[in-house]
């Protein structure tokens, strides 16, 4: 029977006087970025879903979703409509085990393969895609099952458990001496200002690189985050040291007549001189400073964690830390209670003293 490709990229096969859709046995995705900013993987259903993500989410979310779907279907190797639950379990196993000859190991246990948190994120993306197919009546049932049923007791109902259950690890932070060593290893005032924005103000990497001159309030000692995570805006108090470093950078380093004049942090030399600094550029700066300082770890997010932890240790209210961090839920902020050195110890000491006092009162009452 003749087979044609429709204008929308759908394979159709002649069936009498009509045409019907063909479900491919195998499909290999190929990530392509269009001139208008659209992302495509080469399958109509997947591309339609990515268009929806593009319409309702930020650019980084779109890129992450496209990459996760590319990885999933690249491993499964099937048409989206032909994927079964068994294929999902096989994907989890393949991601966890890693390639046979892989030299990459997990830091947590030394085995090959990806962390459970990464696999969980990819499954979340795939689950969203199949929820879209079910909602648009492209599919009757999602192959992403909630997990195997489990029973905790005889009188409780059976509950589904997650397919992947990663350990929620505490973030790593830097000691004060490590922060000093890192700042001392920076060679430019621009670099120092960016690091201080993260370690003194708790800004995310994207928030630092997105700062515009109109966002700086020097007299008020705060900055405006116009495009935070989830599209949330906020005002962030900032140390005077940050503004001093920015002033030194503008006076001695920032090129004149630059292309991206509205952004604070730009490339200082080379063919991209004057253009907005990229995330890769900031990572290279931080990696070089980390190596010169002799530190084993110091990522952008660890600098942010360090700031928020120190603020909590200094007595800043949890709600204030939440506002500083730009967290939507205070549950995301509670992790800094456990990172703070003295919070749990102080709470335990107060409770222990109360218990001891009550025991002493009971003992004296019994004796009399």
Is 301 known to be catalytic? yes
Which pLDDT belongs to residue 16?
Answer: 47
Is 249 known to be catalytic? no
Which pLDDT belongs to residue 7?
Answer: 37
Which pLDDT belongs to residue 352?
Answer: 79
Which pLDDT belongs to residue 103?
Answer: 60
Q: Report all structural domains of the chain as residue ranges with CATH numbers, in order of start.
A: 25-149 (1.10.150.130), 176-343 (1.10.443.10)
Q: Which of 187, 301, 338, 349 is catalytic?
A: 301
Is 146 known to be catalytic? no
Burial class (CB in 10 A: 0-12, 13-18, 19+), 200: buried
Which pLDDT belongs to residue 19?
Answer: 45
Q: Which of 106, 229, 254, 292 is catalytic?
A: 229
Which pLDDT belongs to residue 166?
Answer: 64
Is 172 known to be catalytic? no
Which pLDDT belongs to residue 27?
Answer: 76
pLDDT < 50 regions, the chain: 1-17, 19, 148-153, 155
Q: Which of 49, 130, 249, 336 is catalytic?
A: 336
Q: Which of 43, 204, 290, 305 is catalytic?
A: 204
Is 204 known to be catalytic? yes
Is 122 known to be catalytic? no
Sign of CA dihedral 75, 76, 78, 80: negative
Which pLDDT belongs to residue 30?
Answer: 87
Q: Which of 192, 290, 304, 305 is catalytic?
A: 304
Q: Which of 43, 205, 305, 327 is catalytic?
A: 327
Does pTM surpass 0.75? no
What whole-number distance in Å separates Cα of residue 130 and Cα of residue 46?
A: 10
């Amino acid at each position: 029977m003749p087979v044609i490709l429709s204008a929308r990229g759908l394979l159709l096969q002649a069936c009498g006087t009509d045409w019907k859709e063909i479900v491919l046995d195998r499909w290999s995705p190929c990530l392509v970025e269009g001139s208008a900013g659209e992302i495509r993987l080469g399958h109509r259903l997947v591309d339609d879903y990515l268009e929806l993500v593009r319409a309702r989410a930020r650019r980084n979310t779109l890129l992450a979703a496209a990459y996760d779907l590319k990885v999933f279907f690249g491993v499964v190797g099937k048409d989206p409509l032909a994927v079964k639950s068994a294929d999902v379990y096989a994907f989890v196993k393949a991601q966890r085990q890693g390639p046979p000859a892989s030299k990459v190991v997990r830091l947590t246990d030394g085995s090959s393969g990806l962390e459970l948190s990464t696999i969980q994120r990819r499954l979340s993306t795939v689950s969203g895609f199949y929820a879209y197919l079910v909602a648009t009546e492209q599919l009757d049932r999602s192959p992403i099952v909630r997990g195997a049923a489990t029973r905790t007791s005889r009188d409780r109902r059976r509950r589904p458990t997650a397919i992947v259950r990663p350990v929620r690890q505490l973030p790593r932070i830097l000691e004060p001496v490590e922060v000093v060593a890192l700042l001392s290893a920076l060679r430019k005032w621009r670099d120092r200002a960016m690091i201080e924005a993260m370690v003194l103000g708790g800004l995310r990497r994207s928030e630092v690189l997105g700062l515009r001159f109109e966002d700086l309030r020097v007299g008020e000692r705060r900055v405006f985050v116009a495009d935070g995570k989830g599209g949330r805006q906020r005002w962030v108090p900032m140390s005077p040291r940050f503004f001093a470093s920015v002033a030194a950078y503008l006076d001695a380093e920032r090129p004149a007549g630059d292309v991206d004049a509205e952004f604070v942090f730009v490339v200082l030399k080379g063919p991209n001189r004057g253009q907005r600094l990229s995330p890769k550029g900031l990572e290279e700066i931080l990696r070089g400073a980390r190596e010169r300082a002799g530190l084993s770890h110091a990522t952008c997010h660890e600098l942010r964690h360090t700031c928020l932890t120190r603020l909590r240790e200094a007595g800043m209210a949890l709600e204030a830390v939440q506002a500083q961090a730009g967290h939507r839920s205070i549950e995301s902020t509670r992790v800094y209670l456990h990172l703070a050195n003295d919070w749990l110890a102080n709470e335990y000491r107060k409770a222990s003293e109360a218990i001891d006092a009550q025991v002493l009162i009971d003992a004296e009452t019994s004796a009399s």
